[in-house]
Amino acid sequence: MLAQARDSAERIGRIIEAHAEWLYVRDGRRLSAVLRVEIDFRVAQHSLIFYCLSDEGIEVWRVRDWAWTNEKLLLEAERGAGRERAQLELIPRISASALAEEVSSRRRARCAALAQLACAQLPGASIVRASLSAGAGGSNQPGSFARIVLKHRRATLAITGIVTDARLQRVDALLSSTLIWLARLRETSSAPLRLWVIIEKPLVEALRQRVALLRDELRRAVVIYELGEAWTSLTEVPQYKMKELLEAGLPRINLCRTEMTGTAASIVALAPRAIDVVRARHGETLRFHGLAFARVRRTMNQERVWFGLNPSSRRILDDDTRAEWEKLLDELAEHRRADAPDHYHALYKQSPEAWLESILRRDITRLDPGLRLAPLHAQFRAEQTKMGGSRPVDLLALRHDGRLTVIELKVAQDREHVLQGADYWRRIETYRRSGAISRARLFDDARISDQPPLVYLAAPALSFHRAFRQLAASLRKEIELYRFDLNEDWRQGVRVIRREGL
């Protein structure tokens, strides 16, 4: 039985891997289009288990039988100890190889267009190379960024830009990747290299902010160009001076200081060591080891609970949905714990960084004994403006010596780790300089030191990107970074294996 389940998981895995996108159908009713990465087949307790992230949320089924017709994958499945049975279908939409070739062709064309635009800015320039960065799936996959090298007289220019939909890209990813590429080019070139970054208008402001955080040598090598509509023109954009950037206006801090509602408190009491609350202006989000599963809102002078793991399928808790609510809590208690029997279960794997954050929220001194236990601000954010991003800071803490501390957590290799931390430093330092943090009494009456914040970058020891130190060395010296290597089994309890100032 076990050998058969493993053989089925391997064979189905090869089928799923061959197609980038699938239609998911249950009992003849189309539920959603799902990506390959949103489907998983694993062996647990001698059975083949099917996981899928559909529009109705995370689905988990035990596969009783299956067949591949070359047109669709047919599954006979059950869940709830056999109380519910269904006929499931996974229908491929396009093969992965065909999709990759189509995407690669489109991106190569955009890369060539950027190279021609750059040459038009420099009469007499010649293209040495115009290629794409390596994609997430490896060097044989189409990347998102242009990698162009030009020769102009005796100078060498490195040129990069985004060749996908700019709305889907983050500037931190572009700049981190580019800094690594630029360092490699410098190893093979004796002449000084200039770097042009060509970017569409929606991302120009964010790029200017990031470039201002780089050390002087790198900033002097960078020129930012805004890409005109229809990719027909380039306009040079001035860089920010650091003083100008840190004196820019940011939104007023609106700190939510309301006490936990009675409804939220009663839910936390069900599993106080697992459930925590993140407060917002309009209510509370309840999380089970970091995984959001319910929200409490006051409507019509009444506290009401919406529950569910997928925002599109949340339901109001009432007498009719009480059984579903209790089932969700039981599943969370069973699968989202450090000693869960199935580490491949979707509830165990989902939102790992939020899980790590929830552990540290309960005792931040596990990371650094010099940090104050409270107040501690999780997912600290302000409203989005032209000068400030909308992503929240994982944790904002205060040391006993008065230094503000920005804490950014990762649980997998992420080359954006360093630049994200630096951008959060910029935002918190801007608030500190303006006095907004003191006025908002984020840390009650505690003294805030007249020094820039510290940045703590924490991750399991094997989960720091190989270019971490190189990227950290690219930042201005006033951005004080510390690296915290954590134990790999952090779900069992966080321990700092090594701390290093960068």
Q: Which residues pair with 223 in a beta bridge?
A: 196
Q: Looking at residue 286, what is its pLDDT?
A: 96
Q: Cβ distance 48 to 63 under 8 Å?
A: yes
Same domain, 356 and 335: no
- Domain identity same for 163 and 204: yes
Q: Answer yes or no: is 362 within a domain.
A: yes
Task: Give the count of domains, the chain.
Answer: 4
* Residue where one domain finishes, among candidates 320, 340, 360: 340
In a domain? residue 366: yes
What pLDDT shows up at residue 53? 85
pLDDT at 131: 93
Q: Domain holding 68: CATH number?
A: 2.70.180
Please say which residue of 319, 340, 361 terminates a domain: 340
Q: State the CATH number of the domain containing residue 393.
A: 3.40.1350.10
Please indicate, yes or no, whether residues 380 and 495 belong to a single structural domain of this protein.
Answer: yes
Q: What are the beta bridge partners of residue 152?
A: 155
Q: Are residues 382 and 490 in the same domain?
A: yes
Write out the two tokens for 153.
């007289």
Same domain, 150 and 183: yes
- Does 364 lie in the same domain as 336? no
Domain boundary among 180, 210, 240: 240
209 and 131 in a common domain: yes
Q: Report if residue 322 sits inside a domain.
A: yes
Residue 68: what pLDDT? 93
The C-alpha atoms of residue 390 and residue 383 are separated, in whole angstroms, by 6
Helix (H, G, I), strand (E, B) or coil at 203: helix
- pLDDT truncated to tens, each residue of the chain (502 aa)? 788 888 999 999 999 998 888 989 888 777 788 888 889 999 987 889 999 888 777 888 999 999 998 888 999 999 877 778 889 999 998 766 676 677 788 899 999 999 999 999 999 999 999 999 987 655 456 789 999 999 998 889 999 999 987 665 689 999 999 999 999 998 887 767 899 999 999 999 999 999 999 999 999 999 999 999 889 999 999 999 999 989 877 777 766 656 889 999 999 999 999 999 998 767 899 999 999 999 999 887 889 999 998 776 788 999 999 999 999 999 999 999 999 999 988 899 989 999 999 999 999 999 999 999 999 998 887 544 443 345 789 999 999 999 999 999 999 999 999 999 999 999 999 999 999 999 989 999 999 999 999 999 999 999 999 999 999 999 999 999 999 999 999 999 999 999 999 8
Question: Do 131 and 217 lie in a common domain?
Answer: yes
Helix orientation angle between 417-434 and 171-188, rounded to the nearest 10 degrees: 120
Show the 3-state SS of 30-96. EEEEEEHHHEEEEEECCEEEEEEEECCEEEEEEEEEEEECCCCEEEEEEECCCCEEEEEEEEEEEEH
Residue 114 lies in a domain: no
DSSP 344-387: TSHHHHS-HHHHHHHHHHH-GGGT-TTB-SSS-EEEE----BTT
Q: Which range marks the domain in which residue 173 is found?
A: 122-240
Which amino acid, 297? R
Chain length of the chain: 502
| Residue 103 domain flag | no
The predicted pLDDT at position 255 comes to: 67
Q: Where are the alpha helices (DSSP H) in 215-300?
A: 216-221, 242-246, 262-268
Are 314 and 295 in contact by the 8 Å Cβ rule? The answer is yes
3-state secondary structure 204-232: HHHHHHHHCCECHHHHHHEEEEEECHHHC
Whether 377 and 409 share a structural domain: yes
Radius of gyration of the chain, Cα coordinates, nearest whole angstrom: 25
Residue 83 in domain: yes
In terms of domains, do 175 and 210 share one? yes
The pLDDT, as a whole number, for residue 385 is 43
**Contact assessment for residue 224 and residue 199, using Cβ atoms and an 8 Å cutoff:** yes
Name residue 404's amino acid.
Answer: L
H or E stretch at 455: strand 454-460
- Are 11 and 126 in a shared domain? no
| Same domain as 365, residue 318 | no
CATH number of the domain that 230 lies in?
3.40.1350
CB atoms within 10 A of CB 489: 11
Give domain status of residue 251, yes or no.
no
Specify if 426 maps to a domain: yes
